[in-house]
Amino acid sequence: MPQPSEERWKEIAKDFQTYWHFPNCLGALDGKHVNIICPINAGSTYYNYKKDHSIVLLALVDAQYKFVMIDVGAYGRNSDGGVYENSVMGKMFERNQLNVPQNTPIYQNSEPMPYTIVADAAFPLKTYLLKPYSKAKLVNNDSNKVFNYRLSRARRTVENAFGILRARFRIFQGPMQVQPDMADIIVQAACALHNYLRTEKSQEIEENYLNSNESQSSQDGLANIEIVGRNYRQDAIAVREKFKEYFVSPEGQVPWQMDMIRQGRID
């Protein structure tokens, strides 16, 4: 997939603001273990924390469930956000080599804020990568709950993209019967085809998935990555705080967010 231009990033951010009410968002990030049969002479290299053999698919998804960037092939034994930090994508974001636009105000007359990606608790908190507050920080703190809810709404796009991918291509509904190199190629091809098929005339399978409450099977070919705790830099913490302040301000709040908080919709 081609590296996005600055204009493409701005289009993605505009869509996240329009559809998911999350400003300056470049995409939703997540990773999945793609289960495979035990590779030949692999030892424990591909053996993951769920006691399966796998490669990792790391994906950044736009507001309309399309894959913007992917990184495929990390060993299954590698878990959590460490996969991201060691990926080409992660290193390029860290070095500011991806044409990311300059900081932009998220509402009129406000201070410029960085463009960010959104992710779940498995990933590191950075100035350009926002993750939810831990459960310990949600006790008696509605502002933190609002932030988690708003981030969760935006992050849902990557979960939906993975769900659609699994529903569309049956090869993801169980361990792939191929060796890792071929699995890498199959995953890349499936992601490219997924983007190609994301048209208004080809969304029946997506709608069936999005309207379904079917839980993920233990024999599924896609599995979540592991969560590991870590410490964060103060500048990253400050960026998350400023986004939170925006979400609870008159300029940034949405009218239904407190109802969602009362219903416990904060993950």
pLDDT of residue 215: 46
State pLDDT tens for residues 74-106. Answer: 887 776 567 888 899 999 999 999 999 999 999
pTM of this prediction?
0.88
Cα distances from 41 to residues 23, 29, 33, 46, 187, in angstroms, run 47, 32, 20, 11, 22
Residue with the bigger pLDDT between 200 and 194: it is 194
DSSP letter at 227?
A: P
The full set of domain ranges for the chain reads 6-262
Cα distances from 141 to residues 105, 127, 131, 261, in angstroms, run 26, 22, 17, 11
pLDDT of residue 176: 94
pLDDT more than 90, % of the chain: 70
State pLDDT tens for residues 155-182. Answer: 999 999 999 999 999 999 899 999 999 9
State pLDDT tens for residues 111-168. Answer: 999 999 999 998 999 999 999 999 999 999 999 999 999 999 999 999 999 999 999 9
Rounded to the nearest angstrom, the gap between the alpha carbon of residue 220 and the centroid of all alpha carbons in its chain is 19
Amino acid sitting at position 238: A
- What is the pLDDT averaged over residues 55-72? 95
